Structure 1
Amino acid sequence: MATFVKAQVASLSASIIDFLTTLVCTQVLSIWYVVGSALGTTAGGIVNFAMGRNWVFESTERKVSHQAIRYILVWVGNLLLTTGGVFIVTHYLHLNYLLSKIIVTCTVGVSYNYLMQKKFVFI
């Protein structure tokens, strides 16, 4: 249970970076929300990997390169699910892109990211 709670704290931290990056890209730099969301997901992914490796799963005895490759594979899936989901929810349900991002990020985070990191990346 402690690992799950730590993973949620790491996920929240990464999500904050993700959302701040998305907001800066879209609101300050006037980047299209799909690209801004992808850039935010990238920034959050970097934070999440570092926290997962060093704190959540305490998996520093394994080679970082092996974990990074596995993480990138999982992260690409996350990027596709999140970016595609934000587009679909925003475009077809006519929700604000930030609300779409919250809904999609929470769904993907709980159903995909945690399990893949625990069972595949940081084993």
Structure 2
Amino acid sequence: MKKFLKYILTGIINTLTTYLTSIILLEIFNFYLITSNLIGFLFGISVSFCLNRNFVFKSKDKKIRKQILKFICAFLISYLINLIFLIVFTYIFSVSYYISQILSMATYSLSFYYLSNRYIFAK
């Protein structure tokens, strides 16, 4: 349970990084919705890898390149899930981008925790 709580804290930091980056790119720099979302996730994923590896899962594995590759694969799977939900909420159900982003990020977070715990940092 302690690991999951650390994951949630890390997720909050990652979520804020991702959300703020994507909103700034969308609103201030007028990036396209999907582009701003992707760049936001790339910023967030960098923060997430460092925090998850060192703080949440306390990985001592010397094969960091292998973990990074697994992390990227898990990210892509979780991001695809996020993107599907973001598009559905925003364009099909006409939910505001701000709410859609939060809802779709929840699906990302749950799928990514599962993959991190079972695949990337499994002992």
TM-score normalised by the chain length of structure 1: 0.94
CA shift, 1:108, in A, is: 2.5
Partner of residue 113, structure 1: 112
Partner of residue 85, structure 2: 85
Q: What's the secondary structure of 1:98's corresponding residue?
A: helix
CA shift, 1:86, in A, is: 0.8
CA shift, 1:107, in A, is: 2.4
Quote the Cα distance in structure 2 between the aligned partners of 1:108 and 1:61: 25
One-letter identity of the residue aligned with 1:42: L
Does 2:57 match 1:57? yes
Partner of residue 98, structure 2: 98
**Structure 1: 5+ residue runs without aligned partners?**
none
CA shift, 1:38, in A, is: 1.2
Please provide the CA RMSD for this pair: 1.0
Contact 1:6/1:56 (CA < 8 Å) preserved in 2? yes
TM-score normalised by the chain length of structure 2: 0.94
Partner of residue 19, structure 2: 19
Quote the Cα distance in structure 1 between the aligned partners of 2:62 and 2:11: 22
Partner of residue 41, structure 2: 41
Would you say how many aligned residue pairs link Structure 1 and Structure 2?
122
String of CA shifts for 1:27-85, please: whole Å, max 9, x gaps. Answer: 11000111111111111111111100011000033311010010010001122111222
One-letter identity of the residue aligned with 1:10: T
One-letter identity of the residue aligned with 2:91: H
Moved over 4 A (4+): none
Partner of residue 70, structure 1: 70
